[in-house]
Amino acid sequence: MAEKRIFNFNAGPAALPLPVLEEIQSSFLNFNGSGMSITEISHRSPWFDQVINDAVERTKRLLNLDDRFHVLFVQGGASLQFAMAPMNFLTDGRSADFVNTGTWSTKAINEAKILNKEYSVAASSEDRNFCYIPKDISFNPDAAYVHITSNNTIKGTQWHTFPDTNGVPIMADMSSDFMSRPLDMDKFGMIYAGAQKNIGPSGVCMVIIRKDMLDMATDEIPSMLRYSTYAAKNSMYNTPPCFGIYTIQLVLKWLEETVGGLEKMEAHNQAKGKLLYDLIDNSDFYRATADKDSRSLMNVTFRLPTEELEKLFVEKAAEKGLGGLKGHRSVGGCRASIYNAATMEAVQALVEFMESFAKEN
């Protein structure tokens, strides 16, 4: 590509794999010999059938999904799922357990509250400003589901092992670490992930739902808010976000064929995380904000000695072609989002910059 690209550490919309962007660019005006762009073809055409079906099949292969699971594409991002899930499952006095690990969990709990649904907060890390993942949690055995946020982009925490819920299905918002590691899918009744952090552009949310969960869902809500609507129509009850699904398909192809699967993706992510956290831990200039055993491999959050230095750090990093390092506005500080598409070269360049910035200041 002619233009020089920066190293992109944005939290979302985030970096996409360069080979995916190049494939989109090369086929954008004439997709698959159709004489049309992917943004112009009919979602009822055989061209798009191939795209969506391939995305579903690749998802199933990467996660070792059996026939118990549906793969769906829903608009409205993860934020719609905060409301859609309780609308579907918390009927007839059924209750859900939530684990509150920060902003996104809090928003999910608030939607259940707005809908006047039954719920309990089984555990929370709010007592220490959400810098850790709770352990040894007691769940309600009669809960419809246990809701967790697998990775917190703002606080920089991540579930490294998932809780024992004694058979209650886990529902996970995996927007920011989906497809970054293998999963034991037997634990999960449903996973949802806004695409724009790890698997595609904004505008589409992938939902993976187990059929027994789907069977428990109500049909007494509007059609577009029912998971059964999407499952029955292969996510094409109405016009789906075609370009977003196409990009996801290409990212999944990259994960499967170029990276070599989720075990290799996880090893790569662990190596990137170690490089960055080792620098922070061996420095008296940088300070990680999350407890060591709860640290995210996707969003590395850290502070400098003063807010003035943090502002200067972000400015100087941008001058060096390192973008998106400002922390979330709600917490300040700095954040490097090193999702799947962030290369080791990008992380090495960041580490070198951090070392030189610390020496100079």
Q: Find the mean pLDDT for residues 148-176.
A: 97
Asked if residue 1 has pLDDT above 50, the reply is no
pLDDT at 279: 98
Domains and CATH numbers, the chain: 22-259 (3.40.640.10), 261-360 (3.90.1150.10)
Query: What CA–CA distance (Å, rounded) separates 252 from 230?
Result: 21
Asked if residue 240 has pLDDT above 90, the reply is yes
pLDDT band at 4 (very low <50, low <70, confident <90, very high): confident
Tokens linked to 209: 């739902």
Give the other-Cβ count within 10 Å of 315's Cβ: 11
pLDDT at 271: 98
Q: Find the mean pLDDT for residues 317-336.
A: 95
pLDDT band at 162 (very low <50, low <70, confident <90, very high): very high
pLDDT band at 130 (very low <50, low <70, confident <90, very high): very high
pLDDT digits 0-9 by tens, 217-227: 999 999 999 99
Asked if residue 353 has pLDDT above 80, the reply is yes
pLDDT digits 0-9 by tens, 90-125: 998 899 999 999 999 999 999 999 999 999 999 999
Q: Are 219 and 232 spatial neighbours (Cβ–Cβ below 8 Å)? A: no
Average pLDDT of every residue of the chain:
97
pLDDT at 330: 84
Q: Find the mean pLDDT for residues 316-334.
A: 94
pLDDT band at 294 (very low <50, low <70, confident <90, very high): very high
pLDDT at 2: 45
Q: Which residues are catalytic?
A: 104, 173, 197
Query: What CA–CA distance (Å, rounded) separates 181 from 157?
Result: 15
Tokens linked to 40: 């112009």
Query: What CA–CA distance (Å, rounded) separates 167 from 340?
Result: 31
